[in-house]
Amino acid sequence: MCGIVGYIGSRPARDIVINGLKRLEYRGYDSAGIAISDGQRTEIFKCAGRVRELEEMVMTKEFDGSIAMGHTRWATHGEPNEINAHPQVSCRGHFIVVHNGIIENYSRIKKHLESRDVKFTSQTDTEVLANLMEHLYLEGDLSAEQAIIMALNKVEGTYGIAVYCRDEPGKLFAARLGSPLVIGVGENENFIASDATPIVEHTQRVIYLNDDDLAVIRKDEMVLKAIRNKRVEPEVKEVDLKLGEIDKEGFPHFMLKEIFEQPRAIHDTFRGRILPNQSGLMLGGLHNVFDTIASADRIMIVACGTSWHAGLVGEYIIEEYCRIPVEVEYASEFRYRDPVIKKGDIVLAISQSGETADTLAAIRLAKERGAMVLGICNVVGSSISRETNAGVFTHAGPEIGVASTKAFTTQVVTLAMIAFEVGYRKGLLDEVRYRDLIHQLTSLPEKVEVALRMNEKALDLAKIYKDSTNALYLGRGLLYPVAMEGALKLKEISYIHAEGYPAAEMKHGPIALIDEHMPVVVVATKENSYDKIVSNIQEVKARKGQIIAVVTEGDQVISRMADHVMEVPESISVFAPVLAVVPLQLLSYHIAVLRGCDVDQPRNLAKSVTVE
């Protein structure tokens, strides 16, 4: 939910950290700050607002140094203002902290410290952490490292932190519990960041911190220690992220770039996973567990937001091709409802970021109760991808826009590949059918290219409907989750209230909403529920509702009934969600732009919800 960047080395640190924070603004952007030290003098600059405002502020100062750490915030404790912005400084100035996460027991610690005459200025839990470190440091005559370890043993909750102690200027400290943190290993310089995107332009060598790790970082050395138990050895990985992948490359917004990247992203999802002559699939990450999946009594999919919608599509796909019962749950509900999990169950987590706190907590609960836990993630090295027993990466490339687009389509493609492979291994798909499905898969990217041609039509419709106050999205079967996904896209970036609903459910309530002011988007490609959705459209028309229909190219029935039509190519049912969602992504994008909304960083949202 927040972005952290740190630098210690021989180069001027200020611009390195500021530019790094810009790459993390998709994680949070309501206030920002930076601490800079030249070893003797340390200055802190903070502002309520975006990183660019912080940059304008620091550019007017002459001061720079070779150590810096910065933060871009999504407020959890305390309103987004300068006082609550990070870095937070302990009351006597010894400790400076930037933090991503939530200290659950901060108020009890704060009361104890106040009773010991410790003064506070902000409303943040992070200031409590900084003051706790300083209190232990001064009272116990400890080293900074000892004080940090002791403080972190007293807090409950989650943190990804960078810490600077003014009395030990040659070091930065980094620690994580529940919030991601990556160390970049350079030549005579080291980096800290919430993910690899600020680091890759400087080094491809990274270390993903694990829970309970404390990193003591000098410019030429990095030592990993454990906060609660034995010392650990760092595992340096080569990250294969290229700078170009995290720039807009000429698009006005990351979201539009990522919508148009979907043909390439889908191709990358199956690239290297189809055997020669399209004779089979090879999902290496699941290779050792396919038989376990095939013999599962039940699959429970846990996810949030768009990933949850992909999971709903997965339910239809897996039950159709594998005949295994599937339940799809919001991870936030699953983790708190004391679920019944039996030995033969498989829990499948779907998460683009691989850091969503609720989904991470759900898989930890599932593992505690003996389930086999699998993952579908997009970020290599993410917590969920490292804590599941096995899994598959979607290989969609970095998704920076807060509104998920290519994550959804590549998640559905991944679920389809899993279902095809399990269905084949269970003998439910013969060789011919199995190979044909693989062939259909390989033709999907060019079908998505065709669907993207609806861009101009989506813009035209956006001009008509940009001032709507409500919208209803309807679909049936595996297009019902697409209706929900289309509604989520619209509401989260244009702030128009929108609901996705199973079309048949409309007569049980939502039909009361229909009037001539209500745009009704109907996802109505040629599937087996087509005739039924024709009736639903008639019900809407009878009440003067305005129909925007997503139909299969050449449709002769609904296209004549609807007020507006967006066409997508024909495909087998399993891939209809991948095609039908594209016009809805484009429609929500253009409406948001016409409304002057911040498409890539919508208000109140963040890309990775790493707090509950």
The residues of the shown chain that bind ligand AGP, judged by CB under 6 A, are 304-307, 351-353, 356, 359, 402-404, 407, 488, 492, 608-609
Nearer CB in complex with ligand AGP: 68/384: 384
Residue 51: φ, ψ to 5°: -60, -35
- How far apart CA 346 and CA 355 sit, in angstroms, is 20
Instruction: Say how many C-beta atoms besides its own lie within 10 A of residue 266's C-beta.
Output: 27
Instruction: Say how many C-beta atoms besides its own lie within 10 A of residue 538's C-beta.
Output: 11
Nearer CB in complex with ligand AGP: 562/609: 609
User: 532, 476 in Cβ contact below 8 A?
Assistant: yes
Instruction: Say how many C-beta atoms besides its own lie within 10 A of residue 503's C-beta.
Output: 28
Contacts of residue 17, Cβ cutoff 8 Å, sequence gap at least 6: 5, 6, 7, 34, 36, 68, 69, 70
Q: How far is the CB of 524 from ligand AGP (least distance, A)?
A: 23
User: 181, 160 in Cβ contact below 8 A?
Assistant: yes
- Bond before 87 cis per omega within 30 degrees: yes
Nearer CB in complex with ligand AGP: 124/262: 262
Q: How far is the CB of 411 from ligand AGP (least distance, A)?
A: 8
Task: Catalytic residue, from 2, 47, 165, 322: name it.
Answer: 2
- How far apart CA 576 and CA 568 sit, in angstroms, is 9
Q: How far is the CB of 42 from ligand AGP (least distance, A)?
A: 35
Type of residue numbered 277:
N
Q: How far is the CB of 379 from ligand AGP (least distance, A)?
A: 8
Nearer CB in complex with ligand AGP: 194/536: 194
Nearer CB in complex with ligand AGP: 110/309: 309
Task: Catalytic residue, from 171, 257, 406, 607: name it.
Answer: 607
607 a catalytic residue? yes
Residue 183: φ, ψ to 5°: -105, 130
Q: How far is the CB of 382 from ligand AGP (least distance, A)?
A: 9
Contacts of residue 302, Cβ cutoff 8 Å, sequence gap at least 6: 311, 329, 330, 331, 334, 347, 348, 349, 350, 359, 362, 363, 366
Burial 112-146 (b: 16+ CB within 10 A, else e): ebeeeebebebebbbbbbbbbbbbbbeeeebebbe
Q: How far is the CB of 352 from ligand AGP (least distance, A)?
A: 4
Nearer CB in complex with ligand AGP: 277/604: 604
Nearer CB in complex with ligand AGP: 42/332: 332
Q: How far is the CB of 607 from ligand AGP (least distance, A)?
A: 6
Evaluate the CA torsion angle 361, 365, 368, 371 in order and state its sign: negative
2 a catalytic residue? yes
For residue 444, CA distances in Å to 306, 397, 438, 574 come to 21, 18, 10, 11
User: Which residue of this chain has its Cβ atom nearest to ligand AGP in the complex?
Assistant: 305
- How far apart CA 573 and CA 559 sit, in angstroms, is 19
Active-site residues: which are they? 2, 607
